Structure 1
Amino acid sequence: MTDQQPAPDGVLRLINGYWATGVVGAAAAHSLFTHLENGADTAAKLAIRADIAERGAQTLLDGLLGVGLVELDEGRYRNTPEASAYLVDGKPTSLSSFAQLKLKHMGSLVALPEVVGAGGPVTDPTTEVARNPHWEEIVPAIAAQSVPAATVAAEVLGLADAGEISILDVGGGSGVYSAIWLETNPAARSTQLDWEPINAIARRLLAERGVADRFTTIDGDFHTTDFGIAKYDVALYSHIAHQEGPEDNVAVFARFRDALKPGGAVVICDYVVDDDRSGPAFPLIFAAEMLLKSKQGGTWRQSDYRDWLVKAGFKDVSFHSAPPATLVIAR
């Protein structure tokens, strides 16, 4: 009796993974998840609501069913709970804009074989400069990714009952952490350090949420701009460590230690892998993004963060799950 040859379905699905990016991005572009949420449960109804061809609507529904983002019951379609939570326009956790943005990024993967051979980018990254119009698109688009982690961090730190605390958000982007934390604690104040065009976006977004009066910004590059001494109760470093090398991360962690008041905490949010690099899956795959776009970055291990923070002068380091990210909190 011979072993049965495995079916190629799984491998073919991965090889053609760009189809999933295309289907989800196109569905988001036409607000299909929003229309499904509002009762347009057939291809014909979706075509009318979205003002697209019925054939196009049916094709997207077929694809979304295939990738597990819609369900079909007696000829009627509906969002899965996951799609309802993260792809319906207007929800604070909506990744709809990000799904559309990723359609534009697919072409960059063509360079990955060459980048793997070289061990890093083969051309200088052009996006990581202050004056780049792409910030206006990408900063709001990725904000929703941080909502779950910001909420978990607020609970772990007990921010609701922390009183008049001061927060430093380094490289804060959209300011979504500050927005959620300031809403959680009406006595808190937050300062964001980032490039001026990005800070302008954050000020606008926090004004929309009604907390701009307790939010200030410092324009600058965090590599060179002073954090101050013993000024803050909480400091934040979200989704930046993965683009920095080990020595740079130790250096910035030491500056955080100096900027914090006695007993203060630094919160690091990032895609963290297990010490034996056996998982989780999302951070492992994300490492390819860093190889493409950064000269020294990567998805770092828990042991890396612990070692770096201890070198920087922190004593107590803990890890908290906020899938697909991990929160690292050090005091």
Structure 2
Amino acid sequence: MSSNQPTPDRIMHLANGYWATGILGAAAGASLFTHLEAGADTADQLAAKAGISERGAQTLLDGLVSLDLVELHNGHYRNTPEATTYLVEGQPACLSSFTQLKLAHMGNLTSLPEVVRAGGPVTDATVEVADNPHWQHVVPAIAAQSVPVATVAADLLHLADAGEISILDIGGGSGIYSAIWLELNTTAHATQLDWEPINTIARRLLAEGAVADRFTCIDGDFHTTDFGTTTYDIVVYSHIAHQEGPEDNIALFAKAHTALKPGGTLVICDYIVNDDRNGPPFPLLFASEMLLKSKQGNTWRRTDYQDWLTKAGFEDISFHPTPSPATLIFAR
């Protein structure tokens, strides 16, 4: 066979991609990465620490080696630097709970052919609502993915030296931006606007730190709740735009513009695709998540954000890469 002839190898890997989701989620659920970091480095040791079978531990280790998350040296296993940073429990950016969440959601993809035909969710159960009990699991699980981005944004905005600023986080979820930023700036105050069940989770999570006295919540739907006028130095709109349609995004950006003090900054974080929709890979793939779960959402182009923010009254718009698949936008 010619070396230029295509092979089925990559398609086989893609078609069996659920193996990676399953191995990663199961390993995280058994705290394998945490046990590896603590010194357990063989299948039998890991099985004993995790309370799983030795056969199961070996199978997970084989899979993790194939995924380049665990390395094997002279019969002993260890985490890769990537796994140490993002999969060991207790680390600020640990995605262990997130991987378990994705494993639990994997079955939802079987409805994708029907959703593609319909052009959106086919049952009400897939539409996110305030009283959905899944928030108790989802909100804490997705918080860690914002840690690197919130840290980059703080550096770019020089928040540590910004003085007594006021922050509004629209749909702030776990309150992760407030937690990081208020710790960096001990004179700043943050307000989170979100549904009451989600704010309850954020209050609990931030109560564990030293910033709770400078963190307040407004219970409400950000579509209908007023943001105020010239009230805040910074407004955060993180991972909201992808679940909204164009008209709602413009309306929310306009409300944010009104809420900002002169010279204030709207901080947007989201998965953004190129204008010709030829990349990057992760935002392109994430569009299917929005088709499954939202009525109007999508991964939007840079030109979409430029257009919407201009219509909302912003003039100075800049895009900034992050260590994650997300992009930061600053609008003033």
TM-score range, shorter chain: over 0.9
Structure 1 residue 125, shift from structure 2 partner: 4.1
Distance 1:174 1:61, change over 3 A: same
1:40-71 per-residue CA deviation (whole Å, 9 max, x = no partner) reads: 11101101111111100000000111111111
Aligned-partner Cα distance in 1 for 2:120–2:304: 20
Corresponding residue for 1:280? 280
Where do 1:174-213 residues align within 5 Å?
174-213=174-213
Aligned-partner Cα distance in 1 for 2:126–2:29: 26
Aligned-partner Cα distance in 2 for 1:2–1:202: 58
Structure 1 residue 124, shift from structure 2 partner: 2.3
Aligned-partner Cα distance in 2 for 1:132–1:288: 21
Corresponding residue for 2:163? 163
Q: With structure 1 as the length reference, what TM-score do the two structures score?
A: 0.98
Structure 1 residue 123, shift from structure 2 partner: 1.9
Aligned-partner Cα distance in 2 for 1:158–1:225: 29
Aligned pairs, number: 331
Contact 2:143 2:174 (8 Å CA) reproduced: yes
Aligned-partner Cα distance in 1 for 2:218–2:290: 27
Structure 1 residue 262, shift from structure 2 partner: 0.3
Structure 1 residue 7, shift from structure 2 partner: 2.7
Structure 1 residue 295, shift from structure 2 partner: 1.1
Contact 1:28 1:99 (8 Å CA) reproduced: yes
**Which shifted more, 74-83 or 235-244?**
74-83
Q: With structure 2 as the length reference, what TM-score do the two structures score?
A: 0.98
Corresponding residue for 1:330? 331
Partner amino acid for 2:182?
L
* Backbone CA RMSD of aligned residues: 1.2
Q: Which runs of 5 or more residues in structure 1 are unaligned?
A: none
Aligned-partner Cα distance in 2 for 1:303–1:281: 18
Contact 1:234 1:264 (8 Å CA) reproduced: yes
Partner amino acid for 1:327?
L
Structure 1 SS opposite 2:52: coil
Aligned-partner Cα distance in 1 for 2:306–2:135: 32
Q: Which runs of 5 or more residues in structure 2 are unaligned?
A: none
Contact 1:115 1:121 (8 Å CA) reproduced: yes
Aligned-partner Cα distance in 2 for 1:273–1:143: 22
Aligned-partner Cα distance in 2 for 1:58–1:266: 48
Contact 2:128 2:294 (8 Å CA) reproduced: no
Structure 2 SS opposite 1:6: coil
Distance 1:26 1:2, change over 3 A: closer
Contact 1:231 1:261 (8 Å CA) reproduced: yes
Distance 1:139 1:225, change over 3 A: same
Corresponding residue for 1:11? 11
Where do 1:36-75 residues align within 5 Å?
36-75=36-75
Structure 1 residue 4, shift from structure 2 partner: 4.8
Corresponding residue for 1:238? 238
Distance 1:129 1:62, change over 3 A: same
Partner amino acid for 1:161?
D
Aligned-partner Cα distance in 1 for 2:196–2:53: 43
Structure 2 SS opposite 1:99: helix
Partner amino acid for 2:135?
W
1:130-184 per-residue CA deviation (whole Å, 9 max, x = no partner) reads: 1122111110011001000100110111101100000000000000000000001
Corresponding residue for 1:121? 121
Aligned-partner Cα distance in 1 for 2:260–2:316: 14
Partner amino acid for 2:166?
S
Aligned-partner Cα distance in 2 for 1:105–1:86: 20
Identity of counterpart residues, as a percentage? 72
